[in-house]
Amino acid sequence: MGWITSVRQPGESDRTHFERELFEYSNHTIVQSATVENVFYAAVRTKGTGKVWALVVPMVKAGGAKFRYRDLMETDGPSEAKAPAAVLKALSPTTDEKALRWRERCRKR
């Protein structure tokens, strides 16, 4: 997936920004999150199923309040793998091989 350019509201946290930007009109909610080295990691609950999966959002500043990001699911096998333990603990069990390998890489960091 390509990079998206966005504008952050003054004083807006990463979590608040991505809740608004990605999930405002969806059936998903962020239950745990953290930003590590310009990557936003979130445990996201799908309201219909109750399953919790990982969202990985690398970010790059683009000047002023602008920045670029790309949103990935753990099932994409992102190269960014520094999700903190609190985010990993909030995730539902999975059988997806890419997600399992990504979670293991995070635990080994």
Return the bridge partners of 44, or none. Answer: 30, 53
Q: What is the pLDDT of residue 1?
A: 57
What whole-number percentage of the chain has pLDDT above 70? Answer: 99
Domain that holds residue 8: 4-108
Q: Give the predicted TM-score (pTM) of the model.
A: 0.94
Q: What is the pLDDT of residue 62?
A: 82
In 22-63, DSSP assigns E strands to: 28-36, 39-46, 52-61
Cα radius of gyration rounded to whole Å, the chain: 14
Using the 8-state DSSP alphabet, how is residue 9 labeled? P
CATH number at residue 95: 3.30.310
**Number of independent structural domains in the chain:** 1
